[in-house]
Amino acid sequence: MLSCHGALKNLKGKTDLTFVLAGNPNVGKSSIFNRLTGMGVVTANYPGKTVELNIAATNFKDLRIGIIDLPGSYALGAVSEDQWVARRGVLDSDPDAAIMILDATNLARNLFMTLQFIDLGIPIVIALNLIDEAEKRNIMINTKELSALLGVPVVKTIATTGRGLDELIQEAVNVARKKAEIKYEVRYGCDIETSIQKLRDVLVPYDFGINNRALAILLLEDDQEFIELVRKHVNGNLILDDVKKISAEIERNHGEKTQLRISRERHGLAGSIASQVQSDVKSIGSDKIWAYTTSPFTGIPLLIIIIGVIFAFLFFGGNFLSSAFSDLWATFVSPVIDSAVFSIFGSGHLGKTFVWGFDAGILAALAVGIPYVLTFYFLLAFLEDTGYLNSVAFLTDRLMHKFGLHGRAIIPLVAGAGCNVPAIIGTRVLTTMRERVIASTLITLIPCSARTAVILGAVSLFVGWKPAIAIYIIVLALVFLVGIGLNRVMPGSSTGLVMEMFPFRAPILSNIFKKTWQRFKDFIFVAFPIVVVGSLVLGGLYETGYLWKLAAPLSPVVEGWLGLPAVAGLTLIFAILRKELALQLLVTLAIVQYGGGARNLLLFMSPAQLFVYALVNTIYIPCVATIAVLGRELGWGRAGGIMAFTITLAIIIGGLASHIIGYFHLL
């Protein structure tokens, strides 16, 4: 992962012009970026931030153009990571032009951030996207009038088909070449503009690397980043004293906080412009679909059905693909790898250890990645392109607030039942680190298909379906209680759900494939190497015999508190590679220690022990691929905290279950 500063500097040095793409998350920005740049995309982030910028270059006529895809957001404030990163990306890249992508079906809401860009003095071209949907709703927008009111070019586009994109880039090139001549005339109410001008006059002698009008507005909006920037100046406190005086005057005149007043002015101006350039909206079929999908009476049953389909597709389809892939690998690939490794390193400990990494490790990564991760990303892209995810977010927002989240969190949480890896990557839709940490912690507790395989194979098969269901009930209760607990103990609160209706439409397969690949490659390049390295380490411990020596220090916990045989504790260590390996290794290691009869797990483990074993396996530290993604998404400190929490929780709950079952003779 590159740092933003280095990536932006490198882009500037290799291109003739640099453009930024900006817009809200649901306006087709990623589709336009993909159509303009293809697949040669680099991701970069700011230190301490998990929200990324996508950076790429493309050729247009005789020019090499760099394009920076800013995080989708509704504003350029600093209340969430996506807004902060979007603003920093603009200021640090010093673009030759910004391409603002607006939703033609909801113009007033989208113009708010456009006015913020104008306040910053950045050259702008507007892509009026979803124009086809607007026409279906009988929304006719006078683009010439919109261009005249804002003082920027406006181009009609349809991201899904590529309509208007050549004209859009040409307009951006034209604007970039006239960058020094651009002077915006968009202004707010007279009294607000007077106050802004007073502060601009104060700032005239100073250079803070941003134009005085933009800085004056940011200071009046009480933007802490720029307040600290000014405070560091030798005359910073004097300037901030003037800011307080001017701000107090605004508050006296309007009876509300200055930042709220400026926000109202911006919203009012956006609404005024939109009303002047567009016709009335006509309700169409997609509006009725939206009503059905967001009403609790019809939306909840529909959501349950769709969640069931997703889970069934991931669980049954994923298991089928995983088994088929594993069989093909064992038949055609494993013999080749094993032969090559043994011929180079011999058949001793070293050779066998490398077989663990390059045979079992690669298989483990691919057997998760292709059936589960790739499949989930395809389903996610399909639901995104239809517009259904917005309905789900609205429908579940109230429930998610109990966990300190908002409606957008429901899809990653549900996806965790298929595979935790893509689900945690899916938490990128959440706007703050607090929300992402809560959601990721809950996802690690949700039984994925691999842990479900252990529950079914160890408990349902040998003990009965009722104890298996009991494990699910216990885990779901833990998810609920942990979510409420994290919401209460972690500083901060939910950001709330701010989004507009995204029209339902028929998805386009090519767009779905592009989105799927862009997300899947993160798994390949991040989780894949760690799975292989983890396999090498575990293989080395097993082949050298050191793994068995770990049984002694584990004995007080495994045998004393959990009431399990020592061999079970060893398999839980191996299960870090893949959760379903726990059951396979439990049988394998038991046979090594107890003989062939141990294939029937009830010969050496009681029903109560199998129940506790499956329960602990379900709750404790996730697989190595999930750990890798947690470290990548949240930072290794937070990932370590989640791992320590789940291990502790699993040991506590498993021990309590063991003692309660033994005391009441439940199994």
**Phi, psi at 499, each rounded to 5°:** -160, 160
Write down the architecture of domain 2-181 according to CATH: 3-Layer(aba) Sandwich (3.40)
- Tens of pLDDT, residues 484-501: 999 999 887 655 544 445
Q: What six digits make up the tokens of 560?
A: 């004393």
Residue 186 burial (C-beta neighbours within 10 Å; 0-12, 13-18, 19+): middle
Pairing type for strands 97-103 and 124-129 reads: parallel
H helices of 45-141, in order, are 81-93, 107-120, 131-136
Q: Could you give the CA distance from residue 164 to residue 176 in angstroms, rounded to a whole number? A: 18
Residue 389's pLDDT is what? 72
Model pLDDT, residue 619: 93
pLDDT number for residue 410: 79
Q: For residue 59, give the 3-state DSSP assignment.
A: strand
Q: State pLDDT tens for residues 258-286.
A: 888 888 888 888 888 888 888 755 555 55
Report yes or no: 450 and 580 within 8 Å, Cβ to Cβ.
Answer: yes
Which of the residues in the chain have pLDDT under 50? 497-500, 598
pTM: 0.60
Give the pLDDT of residue 282: 54
Pairing of strands 154-156, 124-129: parallel
The boundaries of every CATH 1.10.287 domain in the chain are: 190-277
Nearest to 391 by CA among 26, 14, 109, 59: 26
Angle, CA of 415, 419 and 424, to the nearest 5°: 65
Instruction: Dig out the tokens for 580 from the structure.
Output: 């379903």
Chain centroid, CA 321 distance in Å: 25
Q: Which long-range contacts (CB under 8 A, 24 or more apart) does 391-394 make?
A: 391/290, 391/293, 391/294, 391/299, 392/293, 392/303, 393/497, 393/499, 394/294, 394/497, 394/499
Which residues in the chain are classed under CATH 3.40.50.300?
2-181
Biggest alpha carbon–alpha carbon distance for the chain: 88
**Is the torsion defined by CA of 540, 546, 548, 550 positive or negative?**
negative
367, two tokens: 């057997």
pLDDT at 372: 67
pLDDT of residue 657: 94
- For residue 613, the SS3 value is helix
Name 230's Cβ contacts closer than 8 Å, sequence gap at least 6: 208, 215, 219, 236, 239, 240
CA of 485: how far to CAs of 170, 489, 490, 574, 615, in Å? 53, 6, 8, 30, 21
CATH class of the region 190-277: mainly alpha
Rg over alpha carbons for the chain, rounded to the nearest Å, is: 28
Residue labelled with tokens 């309590």 = 656
